[in-house]
Chains A and B, each alone.
Chain A
Amino acid sequence: GAVVSQHPSWVICKSGTSVKIECRSLDFQATTMFWYRQFPKQSLMLMATSNEGSKATYEQGVEKDKFLINHASLTLSTLTVTSAHPEDSSFYICSADREGREYEQYFGPGTRLTVT
């Protein structure tokens, strides 16, 4: 299967600071990447769809000025949580489309963000 990495795997930051999370597709090119957040014992909640070279499409209720997404290349998308608050503490997961003979979407290992 294809590999998607995330960095960092966990981060602790103080309230009011910004945090950047990277998502990379290691062995394939991804025109489209997705960012999710997941609360304990809940399913994935899509935050935004990131297309290489264009602005991200945010889901209803997600603040685009707070969660900045950049998809500057076919293998890298970043999510920046700006002016983080304790309620932003969550598990953030990215995924990447691999389209070819069959359509598959691969997920990264996730980033645990704790805001103190």
Chain B
Amino acid sequence: EDQVTQSPEALRLQEGESSSLNCSYTVSGLRGLFWYRQDPGKGPEFLFTLYSAGEEKEKERLKATLTKKESFLHITAPKPEDSATYLCAVRPKGAQKLVFGQGTRLTINP
């Protein structure tokens, strides 16, 4: 069964304190791994799609990496406005739908 597990469930950091969020997955063939950011009361905002092990993508203070079993979302020198829930999802090959993890709730204190 295709499955996505995110850790930690919640993370509190001080402004400027870099860290990483983990997304472990098991899937019967990977078409893509996705990272989204979701603010309270809003729909998820697309961040990245990764397709193969070794791939990396960056956007501002965020960098996503991918291995055959997990993905990391690295956040460098975060600011309070980076506080949000970060969702990871996989799209199995041959499937249309995404399989989501439970998310990591990130809080950046000023």
B-binding residues in A (CB < 8 A):
1, 4, 6, 32, 34, 42-44, 46, 49, 91, 93, 95, 97, 102-110, 112
B residues engaging A (CB < 8 A)?
A: 31-32, 34, 36, 41-46, 49, 87, 91, 96-98, 100-103
- Interchain CB contact under 8 A, A43 and B41: no
**Which among A49, A107, A108 is the interface contact of B36 at CB below 8 angstroms?**
A107
Q: Tell me whether A46 and B87 are in contact in the complex, defined as CB-CB below 8 angstroms, given that A103-B31, A112-B41 are known contacts.
A: no
A49 and B43 contact, CB distance less than 8 A: no
**Contact of B101 with A43 in the complex, beta carbons under 8 Å:** yes
7 tightest CB-CB pairs across the interface, nearest first?
A107-B43, A107-B44, A110-B43, A109-B43, A93-B43, A43-B102, A43-B100
Is there contact, CB below 8 Å, between A44 and B96? no
User: For residue B36, which residue of chain A has the nearest CB?
Assistant: A107
A49 touches B49 (CB 8 A): no
Q: Is the CB of B91 within 8 A of A103?
A: yes
Query: Which of B32, B44, B49, B91 is the one whose CB lies under 8 Å from A44?
Result: B44
